[in-house]
A and B are shown apart, each in its own frame.
Chain A
């Protein structure tokens, strides 16, 4: 260990380069993952961070919020199903909204404040009251656009204006900024902006539900569909994946991240195999003066672990730094689970790479340290 450490200390330049290379590789994957996670949350946040275990759609809606239609009057029936602890309502209207200045893509989401499906991460202000007119709970990403509490928003094509009373986080829908309004407000807006839907009467697009403590979500979902007849109830996770484009996005990103993990892992492994290979002369000397193979291998492993851990730390910091300076139009999310698994993968691959060269190290002939003539 001492020898390994001494080598790193004295050959600082080279080891800094190694740590640097690992850092950059780690940085790459962390940023990729953060972008993927960011896009996922930006697309599905409204559902994913909503307070629900499952969503009830109409069967012909085929898990599409835009196409699903259920009469509001169905709510009490669903609430009565065994295992259902709470039922809320969801309706989504994709349109444009304006604040004082520039217009922005908006998803006006009608919900019942205080019931299942409402966004959980309130970061500022307050929630609207049930049925309270003229107010809106906006996604925190709008703060970056210069909107603050008390500002007035107008929906294009509608006469009503809305006052911002609070902000929630990670609640965007299909990357549009979400505006959460009480269900009644949503109905009124919808009729004005999409007049062709007026004939349908008071409807919602989905009923978010919460199941009772200990109940099996899948079973309750099945029960609801059995009782109601024309519904399809899916878990919130499945619902998120069914949002348009999400599955393709996710599979694309999964492919990208998987490829990156593999490439990064192999590159790191190759890297350390290469470095160990280069040290043949040094190892021959140490063997000649009586160093055992075990000692050398320990040193190699130690250096690999040290360099990968240090490289990971630097890469991690760089990635976070990038996250800070990115403009708000690029959604990023650094999830701890991703960071942790990448850490393990990096260190493991460093070890694997070092191990690749073990056989060669063992085979190094101490006699090769002898210079000069026979």
Chain B
């Protein structure tokens, strides 16, 4: 089963001579319970691709299908709702809400998604345990270390029990040991819960935790975009 399918997506910024092609006819598919690494240097378009997949950015052409829903056909409002319920996004800058505690940063999804508050709170507490944040749950982001914030961001992405997890450069601001820990954690959470995930990274050492690697350069996807071909 295909968890996600990106079909011939192009993203162009600007017009005419100043046009910038961030993505160029990119196609990629993801199987159920597959953890994919999207690797490329800065400026290659990997965050753009991730944003298009998550519905944060509308492609200039092409479509994105997640599960049984064609994301690009939905209205903006529906896309937002979809993102709240079915996609978990771990941002590069963590993007935690600065005035909410670690726990609240997770339980805020109860106000945002359609999940019941009880379910969210239960899952949040469970995730706090699993992520080793139980005793930091009442701390504000400014009181947490980089690694702890990263883990809160991961928890938030998982608390709504989404089908697809998107992770943008999880090791960017962490040291090697911590970074490795985090990626291992991500992999185990994704695999053990039967979810599908994409991790954008420029750190090749991290790909050992993933099922498959796809390279991207200057907006174009290279080897490995087709699961069958790279197995």
The short answer to whether A and B are in direct contact, CB under 8 Å, is yes
Interface residues of A (CB under 8 A from B): 1-3, 6-7, 9-11, 282, 285-293, 295, 366-367, 369-374
- Known contacts A288-B91, A292-B77, A366-B56; decide if A374 and B84 are in contact (CB<8 Å): no
Shortest C-beta distance, A80 to chain B (Å), equals 75
A285: chain B residues within 8 A (beta carbon) = 95-97
B91: chain A residues within 8 A (beta carbon) = 288, 369-371
User: Is B47 in the interface zone, CB < 8 Å from A?
Assistant: yes
Nearest to B105 among chain A residues (CB) is: A289
- Known contacts A3-B111, A285-B95; decide if A367 and B100 are in contact (CB<8 Å): no
User: Is B93 in the interface zone, CB < 8 Å from A?
Assistant: yes
Indicate which residue in A282, A287, A293, A372 contacts B172 across the interface (CB closer than 8 Å). Answer: A372
User: Is B51 in the interface zone, CB < 8 Å from A?
Assistant: yes
B168: chain A residues within 8 A (beta carbon) = 370, 372
Q: Establish whether residues B111 and A295, one from each chain, have CB atoms under 8 Å apart when the complex forms.
A: yes
Indicate which residue in A11, A288, A291 contacts B56 across the interface (CB closer than 8 Å). Answer: A288
Q: Establish whether residues A370 and B92, one from each chain, have CB atoms under 8 Å apart when the complex forms.
A: yes
User: Is B80 in the interface zone, CB < 8 Å from A?
Assistant: yes
Interface residues of B (CB under 8 A from A): 22, 42-48, 51, 56-57, 77, 80-85, 87, 89, 91-93, 95-100, 104, 108-109, 111-113, 140, 156, 168-169, 172
B108: chain A residues within 8 A (beta carbon) = 2-3, 286, 289
Shortest C-beta distance, B121 to chain A (Å), equals 12
Q: Establish whether residues A367 and B92, one from each chain, have CB atoms under 8 Å apart when the complex forms.
A: no
A287: chain B residues within 8 A (beta carbon) = 80
A–B complex contacts, Cβ < 8 Å, 22 sampled? A2-B108, A3-B97, A3-B100, A6-B99, A7-B99, A10-B99, A10-B100, A11-B99, A285-B96, A289-B109, A289-B112, A290-B81, A291-B84, A295-B112, A367-B51, A370-B51, A370-B93, A372-B92, A372-B168, A373-B43, A374-B43, A374-B46
A370: chain B residues within 8 A (beta carbon) = 47, 51, 56, 91-93, 168
B56: chain A residues within 8 A (beta carbon) = 288, 366-367, 369-370
| Alpha-carbon gap, A301 to B192, bound state (A) | 42
A373: chain B residues within 8 A (beta carbon) = 42-43, 47
B156: chain A residues within 8 A (beta carbon) = 289
A2: chain B residues within 8 A (beta carbon) = 108, 111
Q: Establish whether residues A371 and B92, one from each chain, have CB atoms under 8 Å apart when the complex forms.
A: yes
Shortest C-beta distance, B163 to chain A (Å), equals 14
Nearest to B107 among chain A residues (CB) is: A2
Nearest to B50 among chain A residues (CB) is: A370
Q: What 10 additional pairs, Cβ within 8 angstroms, besides A292-B112, A293-B80?
A: A2-B108, A2-B111, A6-B99, A10-B100, A286-B108, A287-B80, A367-B51, A369-B95, A372-B92, A373-B43
A6: chain B residues within 8 A (beta carbon) = 99-100, 104
